[in-house]
Amino acid sequence: MARVMVAMSGGVDSSVAAALACESNNEVVGVTLRLWGGESDSGCCSVSDVDDARRAANALGIEHHVFNLGDDFEKHVVSPYVEAHSAGLTPNPCIECNRHIKFDRLLNRAKSLGFDKIVTGHHARVVKRKDGTSRIARAKDEAKDQSYVLYMLHQDQISSLHLPIGDMTKDQVREKANSLGLRVATKPDSQDVCFITREKGRADFLGKRIPLTPGRVIDENGVEVGQVEAIELVTVGQRRGMLLAGGKEPRYATNVNIETATVTVGTPDQLLVKKTEFRDPIWSEKKIKGEFLVQTSAHGKPKQASVEDGLLTWEEPHPRVASGQSVVFYEADQVAGGAIVV
């Protein structure tokens, strides 16, 4: 019998993951991470989510504990998120939470407490390869697939991870929760950034932590065509939220210069590039290069590109990817690695 720690967020996915872990005759303990003490209405970090997780654990007849990792979350997720916006970057806090909190602090604590594996409710799969290595792979439910945000996992982390709902669709997960009488069966999915409220938004959150700077918008010829209320809130590829003078074609942010508080805009064609630089590559088992399917956002459509020495060369011109975002390299449906765009 394996000892299994289940990360229970209070949502339907992790609650069903805990149920499936119980059905496999494991010794199961549920753990909820208290990460954010500020306002939250996302269905991920709010006080009510701890209560939802506890109720689900009680319904399943398993122990439930709460780990307070708020200081780590502030240090490794929230502060870097704010600093990235100050530098004109577009961060992905969900990836950093997985990197530093769920699969570092939590996994290490689980090991120190004698657990064999941790279980999460991510929509992804762990697959064993013929050479004995393991990889993260896409979920059965492509619309809910979360393999993109797990690209940073190394072999020892993947081997300690079980993802029981990866072979289920979201509808099947909800049906399972309903059959078990779990109150979270119809609970809505959480939004991406758990510490930013829907009501007040990113501008309010960042504005309380850093000065937000009004900026100019120029076209490719340097002619001023509009303004933005805060240069720190603009990301490459953005179309909305810029006060632009009239124009027939849609225009997108093609460059953000934080030092001069200037956004350059262009047509869809001017947004396209042949190459994308990246840094800090992480490989699931060993460094490799060659042709991959490359995904540039959590639910984006992957495109063919060659990967070598910090440079992506796209098979077809590809929209610019904002600095700070992640690119994830797939071989078929398996994650081979990923990196951060320069």
Dihedral sign for Cα 224, 225, 229, 234, please: negative
- pLDDT value at position 45? 62
Instruction: Write down the catalytic residue from 22, 44, 94, 194.
Output: 194
Same domain, 105 and 52: yes
**Residues 288, 306: Cα–Cα separation, whole Å:** 11
Whether 8 is covered by a domain: the verdict is yes
pTM: predicted TM-score of the whole model, two decimal places: 0.94
Give yes or no for residue 75 having a pLDDT over 80.
yes
Give yes or no for residue 43 having a pLDDT over 60.
no
Is 22 known to be catalytic?
Answer: no
Whether 52 is covered by a domain: the verdict is yes
Instruction: Write down the catalytic residue from 44, 45, 94, 97.
Output: 97
User: What average pLDDT does range 183-194 have in this prediction?
Assistant: 87
Same domain, 69 and 117: yes
pLDDT in tens, 144-158: 999 999 999 999 999
Give residue 64's pLDDT band: very low, low, confident or very high (50, 70, 90). Answer: very high
Closest CA to 184 of 35, 67, 299, 44: 44
Same domain, 277 and 177: no
Closest CA to 247 of 217, 277, 205, 202: 217
How many Å is the Cα radius of gyration of the chain?
A: 21
Give yes or no for residue 47 having a pLDDT over 90.
no
What is the residue-averaged pLDDT of the chain?
A: 94
Same domain, 102 and 169: yes
Domain at 316, CATH number: 2.40.30.10
- pLDDT value at position 199? 85
Whether 75 is covered by a domain: the verdict is yes
Whether 304 is covered by a domain: the verdict is yes
Same domain, 230 and 324: no
Give residue 44's pLDDT band: very low, low, confident or very high (50, 70, 90). Answer: low
Give residue 172's pLDDT band: very low, low, confident or very high (50, 70, 90). Answer: very high
Contact 294, 327 (CB under 8 A): yes
- pLDDT value at position 246? 66
Same domain, 16 and 116: yes
Q: DSSP secondary structure string, 218-285? A: E-TTS-EEEEES-GGG--TT--TT-EE---SS--EEEEEETTTTEEEEE-TGGGEEEEEEEEEEEESS
pLDDT in tens, 235-262: 999 998 887 876 678 899 999 999 999 9
For 161, the token pair is 């991870």
For 74, the token pair is 């502030």
Same domain, 17 and 117: yes
Q: How many CB atoms lie within 10 A of CB 289?
A: 12
Phi and psi at residue 241, to the nearest 5°: 85, 5
User: What average pLDDT does range 197-207 have in this prediction?
Assistant: 91
pLDDT > 70 in the chain, percent: 97
Contact 26, 16 (CB under 8 A): no
Domain at 89, CATH number: 3.40.50.620
Is 45 known to be catalytic?
Answer: no
Give yes or no for residue 85 having a pLDDT over 80.
yes
Give yes or no for residue 268 having a pLDDT over 80.
yes
Same domain, 225 and 327: no
Whether 143 is covered by a domain: the verdict is no
For 291, the token pair is 């042709």
Whether 231 is covered by a domain: the verdict is yes
pLDDT > 90 in the chain, percent: 87
Contact 15, 179 (CB under 8 A): no
Domain at 240, CATH number: 2.30.30
**What letters, b where the CB count within 10 A reaches 16 and e where it falls short, cover 218-255?**
bbeeeeebbebebbbbbbbbbeeebebeeeeeebbbbb
User: What average pLDDT does range 125-154 have in this prediction?
Assistant: 97
Give residue 42's pLDDT band: very low, low, confident or very high (50, 70, 90). Answer: low
Give yes or no for residue 113 having a pLDDT over 90.
yes
- pLDDT value at position 243? 75
Give yes or no for residue 95 having a pLDDT over 70.
yes
Q: How many domains does the chain divide into?
A: 3
Whether 197 is covered by a domain: the verdict is no
For 95, the token pair is 């990836």
Q: How many CB atoms lie within 10 A of CB 55?
A: 16
pLDDT in tens, 309-320: 999 999 999 999
Whether 126 is covered by a domain: the verdict is no
Give yes or no for residue 183 having a pLDDT over 90.
yes
Give yes or no for residue 284 having a pLDDT over 80.
yes
Q: Can you give the residue range of the structural domain that contains 249?
A: 211-267
Same domain, 60 and 93: yes
- pLDDT value at position 46? 67
User: What average pLDDT does range 294-322 have in this prediction?
Assistant: 97
- Last residue in a domain, options 246, 267, 288: 267
Same domain, 32 and 169: yes
Same domain, 51 and 177: yes
- pLDDT value at position 245? 73
User: What average pLDDT does range 3-27 have in this prediction?
Assistant: 96
202: part of which helix (H) or strand (E)?
A: helix 201-207
19: part of which helix (H) or strand (E)?
A: helix 12-23
Give residue 198's pLDDT band: very low, low, confident or very high (50, 70, 90). Answer: confident
For 97, the token pair is 């939470």
- Last residue in a domain, options 228, 244, 267: 267
Same domain, 62 and 179: yes
Closest CA to 285 of 139, 166, 128, 178: 128
- pLDDT value at position 234? 96
